[in-house]
């Protein structure tokens, strides 16, 4: 959202080609609102940018309280995504 915003948005543009995509933010939305982070960017600007990315890139935003929670969430998504692929493939085969 700061110095690397252009590069980050290029990455967001690239993931639009993928069927399953999410933006996982490790931290709490409440902490952003309270400005509990190391940046001079105002909380309102951070949240507005996140909302804009969500709409602009059709990218659901998910918050995870800790890196461990984020890791568990990614594991769940990977499991369910793989399961859907397998079920769809089985459906095509017979």
pLDDT digits (tens, 9 = 90+) for 52-78: 999 999 999 999 999 999 999 999 999
Indicate the pairing of strand 23-26 with strand 61-64: parallel
Q: Which domain range does residue 22 map to? A: 5-93
Q: How far, in Å, CA of 72 to CA of 92, rounded?
A: 30
Residue the block writes with tokens 């499991």: 79
- Cβ atoms 27, 63 nearer than 8 A: yes
Q: Total structural domains in the chain?
A: 1
pLDDT tens-digit map of 33-59: 999 988 899 999 999 999 999 999 999
């Amino acid at each position: 959202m700061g110095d690397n915003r252009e590069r980050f948005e290029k990455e967001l543009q690239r993931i639009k080609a993928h069927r399953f995509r999410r933006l996982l933010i490790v931290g709490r939305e409440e902490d952003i609102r309270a400005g509990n982070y190391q940046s001079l960017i105002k909380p309102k600007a951070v949240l507005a940018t996140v909302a804009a990315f969500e709409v602009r890139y059709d990218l659901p935003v998910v918050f995870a309280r800790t890196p461990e929670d984020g890791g568990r969430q990614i594991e769940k998504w990977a499991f369910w995504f793989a399961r859907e692929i397998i079920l769809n493939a089985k459906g095509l085969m017979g």
